[in-house]
Amino acid sequence: MVGDSLSAAAITKGLETRFVGQRVLYYPSLASTMEVARHEAQQGAAEGTVIIADEQTAGRGRLKRAWLSPRGNIALSVILHPSLSCLPSLIMLASLAVVHSIEAVTGLKSQVKWPNDVLINGKKVCGILIESDVQGNRVNYTIIGIGIDVNLRLADFPEIQPIATSLSHELGREVSRLNVIRCLLVEVERLYLALSTGGSIYEEWRDSLVTLGKRVRVKTGETIYEGTAESVARDGSLLLRTLHGSLTRIVAGDVTLRD
């Protein structure tokens, strides 16, 4: 078997959080943790509930892409009940929590590609999908889905080899998923509590972005922009200096680094 074995008890035992990861639903195989998390959230699941699967058979990525999710890696969703004002910062929270936990467990330095891909040596090691149910000014729930390539053997997936990496690939040895998961849950809660009590994580997120100052191509819907990623606003949007010299604010999109 690739990777250490997981269970709800192993994840929660002695976990130093107040609520994130105090309730864990573990599945050996699921279509997608996002669907189970949505169902749980609609049934009133406690804040911090985590849905985790050893393998996903229909993992979902941003922009309706598929997310490859074989055994040995991390695929989990966390249910939160944030205030409306915190919503834009959750992208920052999730990517920073991943960066911190990867470094704490493995020593590897990673960076964020706007809006929330995590890269090591320029290759994607983690994808994040955030879905919220909002009614008026009220957030019923938010689900943060995180997929980390922990022990992915890239030789088995030549189609993603040019753009993806895994922690084990970078280190040349297997990595404990349990250590990464537990550290990640602690970090999610720490940053979430900081945000909820008025703290800012914007500066750290901005400084961790590999995108800024780079020539980029951004695809948003059917529109493609080219220019230099000049800055990010506090709401997480990207400020792009286009080739014509104007500044365009992009709220969501897919970035390709051109340099």
Residues that bind ligand BTN (CB under 6 A): 32-34, 56, 59-62, 65, 67, 69, 75-77, 117, 127-129, 145-147
To ligand BTN, the closest distance from the beta carbon of 234 in angstroms equals 23
**Residue 94 or residue 195: which is nearer to ligand BTN going by CB?**
94
CA distance 104 to 136: 39
61, 36 in Cβ contact below 8 A? no
**Residue 6 or residue 129: which is nearer to ligand BTN going by CB?**
129
To ligand BTN, the closest distance from the beta carbon of 124 in angstroms equals 7
Name 36's Cβ contacts closer than 8 Å, sequence gap at least 6: 25, 27, 30, 51, 77
Which amino acid makes up residue 15? L
**Residue 64 or residue 244: which is nearer to ligand BTN going by CB?**
64
| Rg, the chain, Cα only | 18
Query: Closest CB to ligand BTN belongs to which residue?
Result: 127
164, 73 in Cβ contact below 8 A? no
To ligand BTN, the closest distance from the beta carbon of 58 in angstroms equals 7
Which amino acid makes up residue 85? S
To ligand BTN, the closest distance from the beta carbon of 246 in angstroms equals 29
**Residue 125 or residue 229: which is nearer to ligand BTN going by CB?**
125
CA distance 241 to 243: 7
**Residue 56 or residue 237: which is nearer to ligand BTN going by CB?**
56
- How do beta strands 223-232 and 215-220 pair? antiparallel
To ligand BTN, the closest distance from the beta carbon of 126 in angstroms equals 8
